[in-house]
Amino acid sequence: MLKILVLCTHNSARSQMAEGWLRHYARAQSLQAVIKSAGTQKTFVKENAIVVMKEIGIDISQHQSKTIADLKDNDFDIVLTVCDAANEACPIYPASTNRLHISFEDPSGQSLDKWREVRDAIGQSSKKMIEILAKNKTPKQKDILPN
């Protein structure tokens, strides 16, 4: 089974939204995958992330912020970093792990409209990634950039 990790600094917003989107699209494509998110630091899932995801029918209200050390299994096929700090702090994974990076803007402290904009960009990239994986192909960063 395919295993995907989404990594950001606090595991509070962007990585949580990406986890929700990736699970949503994996189910839609009948793609068997374990999808997790983590941060380099643990905080809490931000309320605005929960709100804007709920607006589009994806419930992340039960998600918990966690660190990489909190994960029982650190063997992933794909590691997607969604902020520059996490990309720089990302642990070393085996050569067989496909590492991808897209730096999405941090919507913290901004309007709900900005949160929606970031949510939608993450959704576009997540959809592209799952569509590629559903064809048994390996996604490349350029293939999953938002529009």
Kind of pairing, strands 33-39 and 2-8?
A: parallel
Residue 121 has pLDDT above 60, yes or no: yes
**Chain segment 38-85, per-residue pLDDT in tens:** 998 999 999 999 999 999 999 999 999 999 889 988 789 999 999 876
Q: Determine the residue type at 47.
A: E
Q: Strand pairing partners for 99?
A: 79
Q: Which of 90, 116, 117, 120 is catalytic?
A: 90
Do residues 88 and 65 touch, judged by C-beta distance below 8 A?
A: no
Q: What is the pLDDT averaged over residues 3-16?
A: 95
How large is the average pLDDT for residues 87-111?
80
| Active-site residue identified among 50, 78, 83, 102 | 83
CATH number of 2-143: 3.40.50.2300
Q: Which of 43, 26, 44 is nearest to 35 (CA)?
A: 26
Model pLDDT, residue 102: 94
Q: Give the 3-state secondary structure of residue 2.
A: strand
- What distances in angstroms separate CA 76 from CA 1, 73, 146, one per listed residue? 10, 8, 23
DSSP 73-108: ----SEEEE-SHHHHHHPPP--TTSEEEE--PPP-T
Identify the active-site residue in 8, 45, 122, 129. 8
Q: How far apart are CA 45 and CA 141, in angstroms?
A: 26
pTM score > 0.85 for this model? yes
Assess whether 90 carries a catalytic annotation: yes
User: What percent of the chain clears pLDDT 70, i.e. is strictly above it?
Assistant: 92
pLDDT score for 88: 62
